[in-house]
Chains A and B, each alone.
Chain A
Amino acid sequence: MIPQSHFLLLGAALFSIGIFGVLTRRNAIGILMSIELILNAANINLITFSKFSDNPDGLGQIFALFVIAIAAASTVVGLCLVISIYRNSKTILINKINLMKW
């Protein structure tokens, strides 16, 4: 039997890797991918707590399902914004997108 803390450690490691990616990536698509890693780390934690709880009613799994649905919706809109930005300014590197900066 694998202890609960090892699943949580896996989630924590994935979360930290995702944070590192969000902070270092210059490509907007790369930042969206790192956000996917963070959301997956949160899902691992939700399902772990759902399995190891005293009263297993599957609430954590339902919550993880909603997280996956919202992640899909946000990714679709984010990628659309990336395409729109590329069409207007011919770049998706976030340090070159300075339309609203003075």
Chain B
Amino acid sequence: MMSGLIQLLNNHGISHEVIIKATFYFIAGVTLLFALFVVLARNIFHVAVYLAITILGIACVYLYLDAEFLAIVQVLIYVGAIVTLFIFTIMLTADIDTGSIRGIILRVLVSALVSLALFFILVRVIVMTNWKVALPGNLPIDLPQLGKSLMLDYALPFEVISLISLAAIIGAIVIGKAEKK
């Protein structure tokens, strides 16, 4: 169905390149929109769902950067594990935000000012820098190459990561364990 749609668009004079560009900007826009929902929505449970959609959009962006393995890892770890953990924690700590509104408007204004200033500085730097155009013969990194360098060149960081994961698991169990009377 998808290839048929692309064929139909090609027949109407829309090239493959334009379709790729249009889908990228659409995905980027949806990702940014849901990222804004993540920071602005009131209901914390909705925020978890918006975060899942944002992360799926970022996984699609990884596909545009020839990082298929990273996209799969992103979906598995973030959407499969981290968002599920967030939802569990939200259910365990039912706490409705009923604090006073006084003082919050000023804080939102100052935060918006700080983050907008940061954004404009970053945009200025990115636009002013003269980026090199990628060489046409630049092959994407394939999965066997990635696995080899992970197991040979970066074996020590890999082992350290597994130690950190073990420490996090044990620490989480110890901290989260209910105290016995």
Name A's B-contacting residues (CB within 8 A).
1-10, 12-21, 23-27, 29-30, 32-34, 36-37, 40, 43-44, 47-48, 50-52, 54, 56-59, 61-62, 64-66, 68-77, 79-84, 86-87, 90-93, 95-96
Contact = CB atoms under 8 A, between A and B. Distances in A.
Contacts of B86: 29, 32-33, 75, 79
A8 B149 CA distance: 26
A61 B141 contact: yes
A62 B151 CA distance: 11
Contacts of B172: 76-77, 79-80
* Residue from B92, B93, B118 whose CB has the most chain A CB atoms within 10 Å: B93
A21 to B, nearest CB: 3
Given A23-B107, A58-B141, A17 B115 contact: yes
Contacts of A10: 28, 31-32, 61
Interface string B73-114: 110011001100110011011010101000010011011101
B176 A37 contact: no
Given A9-B126, A19-B111, A21-B38, 11 more contacts: A10-B28, A12-B123, A20-B114, A24-B107, A29-B44, A29-B86, A30-B47, A44-B58, A61-B69, A69-B164, A83-B89
* Residue from B116, B118, B126, B169 whose CB has the most chain A CB atoms within 10 Å: B126
B157 to A, nearest CB: 6
Contact of B176 (A59, A80, A92): A80
15 contacts: A10-B61, A13-B32, A17-B36, A19-B111, A20-B39, A25-B39, A27-B44, A32-B86, A61-B70, A66-B157, A66-B161, A72-B165, A73-B164, A79-B86, A93-B95
Given A66-B161, A68-B73, A95-B99, A7 B61 contact: yes
Interface string B110-134: 1110111011001100110101111
B1 interface: no
Contacts of A81: 175
Interface of B: 17, 20-21, 24, 28, 31-32, 35-36, 38-39, 44, 47-48, 51, 54-55, 58, 61-62, 64-67, 69-70, 73-74, 77-78, 81-82, 85-86, 89-90, 92-93, 95, 97, 99, 104, 107-108, 110-112, 114-116, 118-119, 122-123, 126-127, 129, 131-135, 138-141, 145-146, 149-150, 154, 157, 161, 164-165, 167-169, 171-172, 175-176, 178
Contact of B149 (A1, A14, A51, A58): A58
